[in-house]
Amino acid sequence: PGEVTPEITPSRLFDTPIKVPSRLLMGPGPVNAHPRVLAAQTLPLLGHMHPPFFSIMDEIQDGLRYLFQTSSKYVLLISGTGHAGMEAAIANMLEPGETIVVGNNGIWGQRVTDLSARFGGNVVSLETAAGSTLSLEEIKASLDQHKPAVLFLCQGESSTGAQQSLAGVAEACQEHGTVLIVDTVCSLGAVPFYGDAWGVDCMYSGSQKVISAPPGAAPFMLSERGLKKLLNRKMKVASYNFDLNLIGNYWGWFSKARQYHATAMGLGALGLKPFVESDADRLVSVNTIKVPEGVDWAAVVKNAMEKYNVEIAGGLGPTAGKVWRVGIMGYNAKLENVELVIAAFRDGLQQQGYLK
Ligand code: PMP
């Protein structure tokens, strides 16, 4: 009972090499990726909690500080496209019931208006004609009138080709305790951006535009004032994926140890037992194995990495310290890999005298 015969056959595509035409992308983005970026994408994958991976994250943060012209500690990449940066900015900087003034002279102002309403903001759309930008006087008048918690401006409005000046805006914001968010998806790297000198509190960008990388990593920053706004929130950030308390922790913003936010067998003969007791309830892609009494699980993990160059993981959340987790997934789901993992377990357990 419950047996299903698969009726949908695999695509013929799997039999042939992937072919992609070479095109010169001269639209508003994505643009062709820089060859250095494409070459970097052929490098081996690392685990998301491996020390060499953390070093790369640190280097990225240094690069972002240069790109943003900021000495702020609070820079990172949001996993996702420019929209992810936009959503992270609004989800974290705006609380339900707070007022946001949105500079609106094209698609991106409209979208932030929509997004802010979804997160419960009281939205004031500060409009000007498509192709024009807001003057400092217009911005100041709106701040004086609405005293918003947040002001949004788009530096490069890619739907119209207008560039919004940011000079003097932060000073006006600070008079009202307003946090300044700037969209630089289509402008960062092409026109000057001075995060510190211009007093920008929250900024997001995109990777597939001027930066010339594939889409999927949105450069992001908070100033000290931006961070304070986050830490003083009365309500939790309504988005888990974009909660900067969690993502910032993974990027080393806080003094706590870095914690995982998002990704990243036949052991019975060794006397090991599965954590999930019922065969029917056991996931095949992530195998949880009980750590026997008296065994140092971390030493087994370390030995596997150092001697076999193989990653296995400890528990997470309710299983922390109680299990090992072995993934058998996709390209790595091969008998030879499983055998290597078993060998690493055998060796680690022998070292601790659990096995002879
Ligand atoms: N803001 C601006 C100014 C943009 O030009 C774009 C993309 N055209 C976005 C935000 C959204 O970025 P993405 O398409 O990477 O989600």
pLDDT digits (tens, 9 = 90+) for 114-160: 999 999 999 999 999 988 999 999 999 999 999 999 999 999 998 88
| Same domain as 201, residue 339 | no
| Same domain as 275, residue 216 | no
The ipTM assigned to this model is 0.95
Q: Which of 12-16, 27-31, 159-163 has the highest mean pLDDT?
A: 159-163
Ligand 1 pocket: which residues have CB below 6 Å?
28-29, 81-83, 86, 108, 154, 156, 158, 183, 185-186, 206, 215
Locate 73 and state its tokens: 């500690």
Locate 303 and state its tokens: 């030995």
Structure confidence at residue 151 (pLDDT): 98
Please check whether residue 258 lies inside any domain of the structure. no
| Same domain as 186, residue 72 | yes
Structure confidence at residue 261 (pLDDT): 67
| Same domain as 291, residue 233 | no
pLDDT at 264 over 60: no
Please check whether residue 12 lies inside any domain of the structure. no
Structure confidence at residue 155 (pLDDT): 94
| Same domain as 275, residue 177 | no
CATH code of the domain covering residue 291: 3.90.1150.10
Please check whether residue 22 lies inside any domain of the structure. no
| Same domain as 274, residue 205 | no
| Same domain as 294, residue 240 | no
**Residue bearing the CA closest to ligand 1, atom 2:** 185
Please check whether residue 178 lies inside any domain of the structure. yes
Q: How far is the CA of 158 from the centre of ligand 1 (A)?
A: 8
Please check whether residue 261 lies inside any domain of the structure. no
233 among the known binding-site residues? no
Structure confidence at residue 262 (pLDDT): 59
Please check whether residue 30 lies inside any domain of the structure. no
Please check whether residue 262 lies inside any domain of the structure. no
| Same domain as 233, residue 92 | yes
| Same domain as 192, residue 54 | yes
pTM of the complete model: 0.85
CATH code of the domain covering residue 65: 3.40.640.10
| Same domain as 307, residue 186 | no
| Same domain as 336, residue 275 | yes
pLDDT at 273 over 60: yes
Single out the residue in 224, 250, 276 at which a domain terminates. Answer: 250
* pLDDT tens-digit series, residues 167-216: 999 999 999 999 999 999 989 988 999 999 999 999 999 999 989 899 99
CA atoms 11, 17, 18, 19: torsion sign: negative
Q: How many domains does the chain have?
A: 2
Given the CA of residue 184, which atom of ligand 1 is nearest to it? 3
- Return d(Cα 147, Cα 182) in angstroms, integer: 18
Single out the residue in 250, 277, 292 at which a domain terminates. Answer: 250
| Same domain as 283, residue 155 | no
pLDDT at 317 over 80: yes
Please check whether residue 2 lies inside any domain of the structure. no
> Which structural domain range is residue 329 located in?
268-351
